[in-house]
Every structure is written in C-alpha cells, then in structure tokens.
C-alpha cells in the first residue's frame, strides 16, 4: 500500500472547502492518519475529460505500436485528460487499462464507414444492409463474425462510432453514408445492447436522419442549421464540436480544391459558420462536451486548449470547464469528487473558472491515486 495522500481545497463544481484523502487509488472524506499533504489550498476539480480523442491515430494514420500508443495516452493524461472517450480507433488499446499513467479509456471500437468513405485502413468498411448487425456486434462483443472484416477485440463497447458523412469522390462533394432505415435499425440494436452511438458529421444533409434515428452524440456538427439545432435539442443528444480541429477545415479545403472544388467550397463555408452554429446549439440547450479530436491533424494533449476554445465560442467559463470535467463525467457515467470515487483530479492554485488558462499549469494532477510527474 502506498502512503495515503491528503488534499485541502475548494471542490468544484459545488464550491465546498473540504479536506479529502486518497487511499489505494480512491477518495474518502474520512480523515486518514499519517497522510501526506500534497495541496493545502487551491481549487480541486474532477480529472479533465477528452470526449473525442483517437488513441491509435497519428499524423500518418493508424498506430499499432504499443510504445507509441502509450506515448499518446501519456500526453493526454499529462495535460489533465484523465478520462478519454476514444471516438474510434483501429488499435487494440486494452493494455493501457493496466498502465498507471494512461487515462481511463471509454472505447468505441473502430469507426464504421462504407468502402472508400473514410481515412484508409482505419474503419470497418461495410454496406448499409450490414450496418445493424455490425453495430450490434461492436456494441455487444458478440454476434456473427462473418461481416465487416476483423474486429480488434471481440470486446463489448459502451459506444459505437459511425461515420455519418464524408466526401464521395464520384460526386465531388460530401454526402451522407447511410439511408434512414439502416440508421434507425442500427441505433435500435446498439441501444438494445446497452451501447450509445456517436456519429461523425460535418455537413447539413446527414443530420436530419441521424437525429431522427436517435443517435446519442453528434461529433463536429458544423452543419447544424437553426431548425436542426431545435431538433437536436429536442432529441436530447449531445454535441462534441471538436473546435480546435475545425480550424483545419481551410487546409482540408485547399488540399482538395483542384480535384473537388465543390467540396472545397463547402468546407470553407462550414468553417465560416461553425462557431455561430455551435453557439446557437448551446443557447438552445444542447449539451456540449469537450473533445479535441486528437490523433490525425491534432496532437494528443490539447484538452485545455479545447476548453478555452469552448469558452471563446460562447460558453461561460464554468460551463466550458464543466464540459471538460464534471458534466462530461456525468454524461459518460463516471463519478466526480464523491466518497469512494477513483482519485482522478486536478488541483489548481487559482480558481480555474476565473482563469481557464490556469488549467495549463495545475499544481497537481492525480491519476488513480498517484501524482503524475509535472
């Protein structure tokens, strides 16, 4: 058993001045004799959450090397992201569950897309008639193995990740991947297996069928027009806008422009309206969470930049912080600073609600009850 630790500070979001102790990786409010005080003042927040991150994708595509996967995970945790929803990964990252310096991972399995309608060598590539069965298999870890190629794990996933739209090179523009009936059936099978469904979607056209099908989170969501925002708010689904990655849209547009000018124009247009649309979604009551989209165009370890971007886009500081901490934990079914919870927390020496940038240099990051090296 390691030495128990003691922290005194203002616990957020409830704003209570408390003492807490850390024993065997868990929190307790019962005093523990002989504990080492690691912070005697400051603000204590539940470990940050990156709800859209790809441990298993790098700047050159899929990553399978365990050392590199571990480096990605360590970079996320060192930035304070102690809980990660891996929003689609080609890699088997289960070994990270046993690593003390890796964030807790909520896995989606591989992206599910159609052939040639996502990044190469990344997704399970299938056609619409197979969608419900493949979604069920990814959600339940079982079911027929004959469709959709190999699955990395045969593991039940609490979330399933669909690609909702992507460039169709034959059309020269972005188009939806799935017909409405296939989506409805697939989302129903996921929910029946106890999983939730996250969907990558940039454009406007794919959104109505996705919202009607009952998906649980819209990833990026740059196509949310005014009427779609209202429908999304009514549906109860969340939005993970991945704001820092939206700034890559102009580069994506320019690299595509010679061959796909219509698509390029669309990306420029979506970039121009994205922040206003996301602000409108927040104002309409759509739950918004922090996700960096680390993996391809975004480096791992940028969770604080995304929290700052959410604030700059219009979320009040406390809401932006909650979107990357306690509110995201509630949404993902993970505890905050309560008796018996895993000891995953940050201590800041100033109130992060008054200065979100303080999250860049916390006094302490504690993961699984251990202080991460600063």
CB of 366 to Zn ion, least distance (A): 28
* Smallest gap from residue 306 Cβ to Zn ion (A): 12
Q: Please, which residue, 109 or 352, has the CB nearer to Zn ion?
A: 109
What does 224-242 look like in DSSP terms, one character per residue?
--HHHHHHHHHHT-EEE--
Q: CA–CA separation, 82 vs 49, rounded Å? A: 6
Report how far apart, in Å, the C-alpha atoms of 346 and of each of 105, 164, 366, 368 are. Answer: 18, 35, 6, 12
Cα 341–chain centre separation = 21
| Shortest Cβ 343–Zn ion spacing (Å) | 29
Question: Which residue's CB is nearer to Zn ion, number 251 or number 355?
Answer: 251
Decide whether 185 or 293 has the Cβ nearer to Zn ion: 293
Q: Which residues bind Zn ion (CB under 5 A)?
A: 293
CB of 85 to Zn ion, least distance (A): 11
Look at residue 373 and give its three-state secondary structure.
Answer: coil
- What whole-number distance in Å separates Cα of residue 70 and Cα of residue 358? 26
Question: Which residue, 298 or 345, is less far from Zn ion as judged by CB?
Answer: 298
Nearer to Zn ion, 204 or 293 (CB): 293
* In the complex, minimum distance from the CB of residue 15 to Zn ion, in angstroms, rounded to a whole number: 34
Q: Which residue number is nearest to Zn ion in terms of Cβ?
A: 293
| Cβ atoms of residues 218 and 181 within 8 Å | no
C-alpha angle 79-80-82 in degrees, rounded to nearest 5 = 125
Residue 93 vs 336, nearer CB to Zn ion = 93
Distance CA 337, CA 20 (A): 9
Tokens of 21: 């102790």
C-beta of 242: minimal distance to Zn ion in Å? Answer: 7
Q: How far is the CB of 90 from Zn ion (least distance, A)?
A: 12
For residues 43 and 166, which CB has a smaller minimum distance to Zn ion in the complex?
Answer: 166
Contact of 76 with 303, CB cutoff 8 Å: yes
Angstrom CA distances, 16 to 9, 10, 40, stand at 8, 5, 14
């Amino acid at each position: 058993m390691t030495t128990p630790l003691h922290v005194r500070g203002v616990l957020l979001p409830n704003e209570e001045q408390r003492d807490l102790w850390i024993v065997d990786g868990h929190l307790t409010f019962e005093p523990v004799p002989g504990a080492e005080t690691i912070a005697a003042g400051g603000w204590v927040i539940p470990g940050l959450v990156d709800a859209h991150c790809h441990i298993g994708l790098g700047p050159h595509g899929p990553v399978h090397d365990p050392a590199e996967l571990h480096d990605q995970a360590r970079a996320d945790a060192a930035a304070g992201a102690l809980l990660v929803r891996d929003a689609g990964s080609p890699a088997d990252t289960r070994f990270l569950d046993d690593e003390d310096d890796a964030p807790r991972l909520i896995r989606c399995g591989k992206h599910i897309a159609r052939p040639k309608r996502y990044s190469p060598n990344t997704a399970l590539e299938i056609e619409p008639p197979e969608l419900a069965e493949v979604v069920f298999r990814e959600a339940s870890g079982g079911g027929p193995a004959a469709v959709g190629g190999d699955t990395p794990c045969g593991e039940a996933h609490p979330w399933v990740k669909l690609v909702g739209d992507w460039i169709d090179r034959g059309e020269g523009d972005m188009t939806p991947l799935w017909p409405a009936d296939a989506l409805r059936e697939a989302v129903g099978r996921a929910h029946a297996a106890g999983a939730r469904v996250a969907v990558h979607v940039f454009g406007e056209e794919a959104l109505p069928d996705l919202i009607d099908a009952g998906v649980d989170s819209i990833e990026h969501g740059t196509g949310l027009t005014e009427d779609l925002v209202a429908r999304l708010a009514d549906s109860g689904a969340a939005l993970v806008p991945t704001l820092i990655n939206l700034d890559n849209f102009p580069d994506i547009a320019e690299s595509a422009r010679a061959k796909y000018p219509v698509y390029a124009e669309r990306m420029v247009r979506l970039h121009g309206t994205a922040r206003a649309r996301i602000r409108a979604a927040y104002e309409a009551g759509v739950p918004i969470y922090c996700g960096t989209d680390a993996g391809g165009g975004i480096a791992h370890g940028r969770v604080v930049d995304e929290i700052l971007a959410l604030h700059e886009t219009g979320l009040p500081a406390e809401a932006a912080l909650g979107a990357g901490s306690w509110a995201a934990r509630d949404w993902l079914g993970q505890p905050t600073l309560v008796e018996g919870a895993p000891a995953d927390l940050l201590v800041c020496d100033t109130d992060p609600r008054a200065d979100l940038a303080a999250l860049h240099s916390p006094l302490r990051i504690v993961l699984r009850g251990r202080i991460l090296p600063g």
